[in-house]
Structure 1
Amino acid sequence: MLPKSRPRGAPALLAALTALLQAAGVTVLVALTTMTALVAVVAVAAPAGADTTWSVVPADANGPDGRTVIDIELPAGQQVTEHIAVVNRSTQPVDFAIDANDGYLTSKGYFDMRPPEATPVDGGSWIKVPDKVTIAAGATTVVPITVTIPQNATPGDHPAGVTASVDAISGQVRVHNRVGVRLNIRVNGTFAAKVTVNDVHTAYTWSWNPFTPGTVEVTYTLANTGNVRLAPDSRILTSTIAGENGWDDTSEAKAREIMPGGSRTFTAHVTGTWPLGPIGTTIMAIPSPAGKPLPGVTAERVAIDTTVWAIPWPQLTLLLLLVIAVLTLRLTSIRRRRRIEKLIILNSRGTPLGT
């Protein structure tokens, strides 16, 4: 089953506004650009009745070759020819525009590509592709892409992508749909896997149950200051007089990369930490290179220490309630004893009760 793209968010809002303008007798044509995440196989259907669906995958000269991305590693000044396969799954011929541009990661760590109107300035500018291809209904066309590394290219990773796209009209909204393949371009040379930890913020959350420890929330930013893609491992340690607690990122998000010059913000929750005054917190990051191993490259661990104070309010409240309860019981016991003593004295004197 191939997913179909529909205008959502801003396109839907613009469509609603356009309808209102049309009701007033005003003709409006709005151009929008939509972008799908670049993965190995993605299919998009244009809005309205065109029902255009297609996919783009890495290929060799004969057709799709089973790869999910195209990895290229060359020294500066070298050239290589790769291929993508564009599969027209529609019931009519389609003209596809072919575009190459720089790649980047979204705030959540997903790969994307700069819009076609943006001029590439890095790896995308090294790629030569045909402007467009016309593909018959149900047919597959292999498109050659030539990557030429400049002589002055800096060593390291230069992400890029190649897309096949079509324009479609949905009402009065023009939507640009594109599907593409990611290119991991790596220029040979001296590689550096480095990361810094910035913008560290810690906070403590108490448990409503005084017999249950609370949670330390740590928000921090990892910045890739090297020249290769990183998939860093992170570990958070908290320390109190009651002992240490640790947190390891076991989520899928930890495998998402950070591009050279890029950064990502993470949030960790260290549970099982008792609020016993100052809580020492250590954030450790290991800048593990993403993709192919890099022999001889040492990824140095980075550690940042910080402290957050946590006063044991639930435990102090419980202690206060216990003290009040004990004092209340004691006062009640004293009053009861005095009442009994008074009754005994009155009874021994023969004084009627209530006198």
Structure 2
Amino acid sequence: MTTSRSRGALARLAALHAVGVTLLVAMVAFATPSDADITWSVVPADANGPDGRSVIDLELAGGQQVIEHVAVINRSTQPVDFGIDANDGYLTSKGYFDMRPSDAEPVDGGAWLEVPDKVTTAAGATSVVPVKVSIPQNATPGDHPAGVTASLETISGQVRVQNRVGVRLNIRVTGDYVAKVAVTDVRAEYTGSWNPFAAGSVEVTYTVANAGNVRLVTDNRVLTSTFVGESSWSDPSAAKAREIMPGGSRTFVARVPGAWPLGPIGTTIAAIPSPAGKPVPGVTAERVAIDTTVWALPWPQLALLALLVLAFFAIRVLAAWRRRRIEKLIMLHTRGTPQEA
């Protein structure tokens, strides 16, 4: 039985192409098998060793080849045989970069990488591993994410565990770039407050899909409007959490406060996309907006109004009863008193 822990070390590498990535590499590039005191890291390199990059960005034409390198750093006190693997990359549901399992056949950018099967790294030493990138002549323009990992298998009981640490490759094939998003599966739900003097909120769930061929990040905004005004929400997450691969999608949830239950609440979801990473000259992505309406009936306010009406009539009935009772007492008192001649 073989399991993979790639998500533990590789998942957080989604942020490698965002700001502040160098420190992040140093944080997540270590792996420690549960039954051995072995740690290692993998970083981009040139032929001489680590070169300070956080990810490997490539822009190549169909049919072009290039030799890249990754450095496997053995931080242990013993030599280690690391397995080397290349495969397709993808983003998890939370927006983090990960790779397909090592036993899965690559079908995209990972299939264009050629790496050795293994490398033996001495204690405390660094091995530079060549990565041959060969773009097919008929490769489609746009982004094709991939990655290279150095792995070590360990045995825990009867379970074989594969620990993987890797480097992300952003492979972009030159050609006609398309930056386009679509907003789908929009759902809006109103949540009110039982306090009639407090506004409720609108929770909006929506999916942003990358319908183009380059990586995108989106600035997402939600606007609600009622008869008494508007409320807005802007996505506060970092850019790395909003990255969407070509053909991929992300589902977001926004809660817009300050919505009063006064019938229909108009809701607009806007996604403002831009290319991830370095700008793509001449390529712009249009803003996409979707409108929907959710109904919010003012039950707390109606209940308060009903109570006020009942209280009004109760006070009037009580006042009338007291008035009749006083008049009756006056009449009885008048009858019992002798009249003067």
TM-score (norm 2): 0.91
- CA shift, 1:255, in A, is 4.2
Q: Is the 8 A contact 2:224 2:268 kept in 1?
A: yes
Counterpart pick for 1:47 among 29, 34, 50 = 34
Residue 142, structure 1, aligned to residue 128, structure 2: yes
Q: Report the CA distance shift for 1:34/1:118 in structure 2 as closer, same or farther (over 3 A).
A: same
1:343 aligns with 2:329: yes
CA distance in 2, matches of 1:149, 1:254: 27
Residue type matched to 2:105 in 1? T
Match of 1:106 in 2: 92
Cα contact 1:110–1:256 (8 A) shared by 2? no
Partner of 1:292: 278
Q: What amino acid is the match of 1:75?
A: A
Q: Residue 37 of structure 1 corresponds to which residue in structure 2?
A: 10
- Give the aligned partner of residue 19 of structure 1: none
Gaps of 5+ in 2: 14-24
Out of 45, 66, 74, the residue aligned to residue 60 of structure 2 is 74
Q: Is the 8 A contact 2:200 2:261 kept in 1?
A: yes
> Is 1:129 paired with 2:115?
yes
Of 317, 320, 324 in structure 1, the residue corresponding to residue 306 of structure 2 is: 320
Deviations 1:123-148 (A, max 9, x none): 00111111100011111111111111
2:215 pairs with 1:242:
no
Report what 1:214 is aligned to: 200
The residue identity in structure 2 corresponding to 1:54 is W
Partner of 1:181: 167
Letter in 2 for 1:169: I
Q: Residue 30 of structure 2 aligns to which amino acid in structure 1?
A: A
Whether the aligned pair in 1 keeps the contact of 2:94 and 2:241 (CA below 8 Å) is no
The separation in 1 between residues aligned to 2:264 and 2:157, in whole angstroms, is: 61
> Which of 174, 177, 180 is the matching residue for 1:191?
177
Q: Is the 8 A contact 1:109 1:253 kept in 2?
A: no
For residue 287 of structure 1, give the secondary structure of its aligned residue in structure 2.
Answer: strand
CA contact (8 A) 1:232 1:255 kept: no
Counterpart in the other structure of 2:22 = none
- One-letter code aligned to 1:93: P
User: Conserved in 2, the CA contact under 8 Å of 1:214 and 1:272?
Assistant: yes
Cα 1:208–1:253 change in 2 (3 A) is: farther
Q: Structure 2 CA distance, aligned partners of 1:237 and 1:127? A: 45
1:74-101 CA distance string (max 9 Å, x none): 1111111111111111121110000000
Residues in 2 aligned to 1:221 and 1:256: alpha-carbon distance in whole angstroms: 11
Residue 342 of structure 1 aligns with an amino acid whose one-letter code is: K
Residues 221-240 of structure 1 deviation map (CA, whole Å, 9 limit, x = unaligned): 11111000011111111111
Equivalent in the alignment of 2:216: 230
Q: Distance in 1 between matches of 2:45 and 2:302?
A: 67
Q: Distance in 2 between matches of 1:189 and 1:94?
A: 42
How many aligned positions are there?
A: 321
* 2:224–2:256 CA contact under 8 A, matched in 1: yes
Shift of 1:256: 2.9
Could you tell me how far 1:254 is from its partner in structure 2? 6.9
Q: Determine which of 97, 102, 110 is the counterpart of 1:116.
A: 102
Q: Distance in 2 between matches of 1:91 and 1:339?
A: 101
Quick one: distance in 2 between partners of 1:304 and 1:120?
A: 36
CA distance in 2, matches of 1:196, 1:336: 69
The change in CA–CA distance for 1:317 and 1:254 in structure 2 (over 3 A counts) is farther
* Conservation of the 8 A alpha-carbon contact between 1:225 and 1:260: yes
Q: Against the structure 1 CA distance between its residues 81 and 143, is the aligned structure 2 distance closer, same or farther, given a 3 Å change threshold?
A: same
**Percent sequence identity over matched residues?**
72
